[in-house]
């Protein structure tokens, strides 16, 4: 068996005994942050979620009935080797995070995941009474003339 490299190690059980998991990590946890948000209960709430998603690098996910705003942005102290540039003075939230349950080999799936305002509009139309919301999508374009 050849020597394992960072690019060939995909799961934590492939990390050689005695090695630090962080040596093989792509630092997924340093490339975003997620904040809990109130679950939408009204058209106005859904409209706020649509607004979030009109901004670059923002997504929404639902996990165990909790809703989160996820912002895809890299920590400014993440080094080219995927290690922390301020490790000794890193924030407490980083200190509390351990490799025991980290995202190293996690291909997370969510109860729901929204990347666009249009996806939220469709979800809202499917889950909230149509009479309450009306149409939140752009108007349909005019029908093109038939060529003869």
Task: Tell me the per-residue pLDDT of 73-98, one tens digit each, with 9 for 90 and over.
Answer: 999 999 999 999 999 999 999 999 87
Report DSSP letters for 51-90, one per residue.
HHHTSTTEEEEEETTEEEEEE----TTB-TTS-BTTGGG-
Q: What is the pLDDT of residue 62?
A: 96
Facing residues of 35 across strands?
A: 69
Average pLDDT over residues 2-18: 69
Listed by start position, the domains of the chain span 14-130
Short-list 57, 61, 66, CA closest to 39: 66
Length of the chain in residues, anyone? 148
On average, the pLDDT of the chain sits at 84
| pLDDT > 60? residue 56 | yes
| pLDDT > 50? residue 141 | yes
């Amino acid at each position: 068996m050849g020597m394992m490299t960072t690019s060939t190690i995909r799961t934590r059980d492939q990390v050689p005994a005695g090695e630090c998991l962080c040596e093989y990590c792509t630092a997924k946890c340093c490339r975003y942050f997620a904040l809990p948000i109130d679950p939408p209960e009204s058209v106005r709430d859904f409209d706020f979620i649509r607004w979030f998603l009109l901004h670059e690098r923002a997504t929404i996910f639902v996990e165990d009935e909790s809703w989160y705003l996820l912002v895809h942005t890299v920590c400014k102290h993440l080094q080219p080797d995927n290690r922390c540039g301020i490790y000794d003075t890193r924030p407490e939230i980083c200190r509390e995070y351990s490799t025991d349950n980290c995202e190293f080999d996690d291909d997370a799936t969510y109860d729901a995941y929204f990347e666009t305002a249009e996806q939220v509009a469709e979800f809202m139309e499917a889950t909230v009474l149509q009479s309450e919301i009306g149409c939140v999508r752009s108007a349909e374009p005019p029908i093109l003339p038939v060529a003869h």
